[in-house]
Structure 1
Amino acid sequence: MARTLAWRPRRGGTDGSAATAHAVDRPHAAPRPDAGPTDAERAVGDCAVYTPDGRVEGRLPLHGAVASAEQRGGFVWVGVQQPSAEEFAEIAAVFGLPELAVEDAVKAHQRPKLEVYGDVLFAVLKPIRYVDSEEVVETAEIAVFVGRTFVVTVRHGVSDVLAGVRRDLDQAGQGHDLLAHGPAGVLYAAADRVVDAYDEVADAIDIDIEQIEGQVFGGDEEDHAQRIYKLKREVLEFRRAVAPLERPLQRLTETDVPHVPAALRPFFRDVHDHAERAAERVEGHDRLLTDVLSADLAQVSVRQNRTAVRQNEDMRKISAWAAIALVPTAVAGIYGMNFQYMPELGWRFGYPAVLLLILVVCLGLARLFRRNGWL
């Protein structure tokens, strides 16, 4: 998990030009004779062409989709879910995707980032959702390849971000903003939905933290450290999705990113502002949970000390009563030895005198212990 921040070059210059040498530098593959769907085509969830007037009806075959998009003046969007390396290799060959980015898209477990490979823009987004019943942050991953006339998306995990973007595009009519912005519009719509979900997750975590605060500072005698620590780990998972995304979004507002029209940069700037706000909320959650955990541990320590004090008081009382009870026990033990020649046995007032002695000593000990706080 400990990698560099989102924007990083690949074995060369700052624009990723060195990595371009690994790209598949060949024309888009031409349609092949009908031989049934290939493994790559079976792995594709949807393959459609979008023009400024909307979606072209039907689903296109993988081979020849780019040519169809170019003829219609639009772009093709190919959506894939958790493909194998073999399945995605064919897709990469069709669209000329860079080898290093293809490897990242297939293996997943990447940080949010933005990389430029020649004429291909590669981005990784981390959609998350909060399962409130389990207090768990679930993370998915989306890899997006943006070219001049195509978008290829790869999804790992459970997320409805791309489905929502696809639904919006399918229902969009002539002049819709997303369609007007071309392939980069898909990237913007996906990033916007991802960041909007961050606010929803942050709101849900706010509710749980308020509940924990009420329990910790409301006199609840239970130990909440385990729940607080678990929620703190989920906030850390949240941070891993949010914090590295700020730099890629800021980069998308700059002028040297291919296929991102100038009209779209203010929209990415707005998404960047929302991501910064989400990152600040995550940092606040982490600090607040740290303070609540410290307070809970302090209260546990106080309760333990209070219990120890009560136990010490009980032991002093028990010891005091044991000392008082020892007096009659000792005297009775002496006179219970049944020797024939004991001086007090023949004395008329011996019995009441011994009882009086026992009473005086016991009362004296009781007064002494009470004055010292033992009784």
Structure 2
Amino acid sequence: MIHRLRSAVRRTYRRAVDLSHPARSPLGSAVVNCVVYVDGVRQDDCRSAEESLRRVRRRDRGDGFVWIGLHEPDEKEFAGLAELFGLHPLAVEDAVHAHQRPKMEQYDEVLFSVFKTVRYVEHDELTATSEVVDTGELMAFTGPDFVITIRHGGHGSLGPLREALEATPEQLAKGPSAVLHAIADHVVDDYLAVADAVQDDIEAIETAVFSEQADRGDAGRIYQLKRELLELKRAVTPLGRPLQRLAAEPLPIVAPEFRAYFRDVVDHLARVTEQVASFDALLDSILQAHLAQVTVAQNEDMRKITAWAAIVAVPTMVCGVYGMNFEHMPELRWTYGYPLVMGVMVAACFMIHRGFRRNGWL
């Protein structure tokens, strides 16, 4: 079932429309969608959150829940929903203001989860200022008969995920736990995709550093990639503990059958965490190797400069002696004195040059 859901997400991802557009928000500028699900089947879109909650709590309608999605709501827009569903003020503050670490907190029968979403930024060539990883935030309030998702950032739309879940009503019929698992699985799958794309950038940097045409400006690109990798690390690493709680601890809002599903997500997250750690260590090694190459190149330049300075020192010294204009100078009045001195300087410079060439300095 999980594999079918993932396949459905991949099929619908490219054709799905970003539901965060204001034109798709009849309940307010921040509300993306408000849908009632009964026995896993989508009902007509609701006109108000009060009506939605009233519909799902009718005992004669079977098991159902309401899923409300919002995009960057402000305090006024979220205040009504917070009061209606009895959300804790601390969780509401975190959901509105964002900039939170991945975490999971339980307030009575409501589970508040925070995920960091990531997106790989396409670029033709990695530069010292290229943006590689773009991050956002996704919060989820999960209750017995409702799910409220709040998205911050310009990416991470849950439209494709919603369509994939609606394509598998038997999974959606299991309630809010199914939605929470689908969100966690979707976020971690994005981590895997971004990690694979970042690996391509690292391999390109590694090839450039160890090529014969290595550029001394590669240090800026390596450092920029390390900074972008840090953004991915901040999203991936803190999520491990919340997912382990979902997979291991008996939480009233999470159906016991979904613990195995969350363990699968934990395994995927562990793979990404290991990848990010190995990428960081590899970039450190590449940076050290690049700095060593720069140092070696600088030493070679200094040796060449020193060798040429030694060669030039010979004629400089001879010319300096004869430039003193003393009256009694060796071979001063000899007809072949000038050619002899020039020949001696050329011969001395040639011998010194040959010696440096043999030693690899030139």
Q: Which TM-score bucket, shorter chain as reference? A: 0.7 to 0.9
Structure 1 stretches of 5 or more lacking a match? 1-37, 336-341, 345-349
Query: What does 1:216-235 correspond to in 2, within 5 Å?
Result: 216-223=209-216, 224-235=218-229
SS for the counterpart of 2:253 is coil
Distance 1:170 1:326, change over 3 A: same
- Pick one of 134, 141, 148 that aligns with 2:144: 148
SS for the counterpart of 1:253 is helix
Cα displacement (A) at 1:159: 2.4
Structure 2 stretches of 5 or more lacking a match? 1-24, 124-129, 358-362
Cα displacement (A) at 1:39: 11
2:136 touches 2:156 (CA, 8 Å); kept in 1? no
SS for the counterpart of 1:260 is coil
Q: Does 1:246 align with 2:240?
A: yes
- Measure the CA separation in 2 of the matches of 1:53 and 1:216: 54
CA deviations on 1:113-162 (whole Å, 9 max, x unpaired) are 11111111010011101103144210010110000000011110022342
Which letter maps to 1:144?
A
- Measure the CA separation in 2 of the matches of 1:226 and 1:311: 27
Question: What residue is the counterpart of 2:17 in the other structure?
Answer: none
SS for the counterpart of 1:154 is strand
Larger Rg belongs to:
1
Distance 1:193 1:84, change over 3 A: same
- Measure the CA separation in 2 of the matches of 1:311 and 1:267: 66
Question: What residue is the counterpart of 2:46 in the other structure?
Answer: 59
1:320 touches 1:374 (CA, 8 Å); kept in 2? no
- CA-based RMSD of the aligned residues comes to 2.6
- Measure the CA separation in 2 of the matches of 1:151 and 1:48: 10
**What is the aligned length?**
321
Query: What does 1:1-375 correspond to in 2, within 5 Å?
Result: 41-71=28-58, 72=61, 73-133=63-123, 134-173=130-169, 176-177=170-171, 179-223=172-216, 224-326=218-320, 329-330=323-324, 333=325, 353-364=333-344, 367=347, 373=355
Which letter maps to 2:85?
F
- Measure the CA separation in 1 of the matches of 2:249 and 2:322: 99
- Measure the CA separation in 2 of the matches of 1:352 and 1:297: 54
What's the % identity of the aligned pairs? 41
- Measure the CA separation in 2 of the matches of 1:323 and 1:265: 86
- Measure the CA separation in 2 of the matches of 1:193 and 1:181: 18
- Measure the CA separation in 2 of the matches of 1:292 and 1:68: 59
Cα displacement (A) at 1:213: 0.8
Distance 1:255 1:313, change over 3 A: closer
Which letter maps to 2:187?
V
2:331 touches 2:337 (CA, 8 Å); kept in 1? no
1:324 touches 1:362 (CA, 8 Å); kept in 2? no
Distance 1:357 1:327, change over 3 A: farther
1:51 touches 1:75 (CA, 8 Å); kept in 2? yes
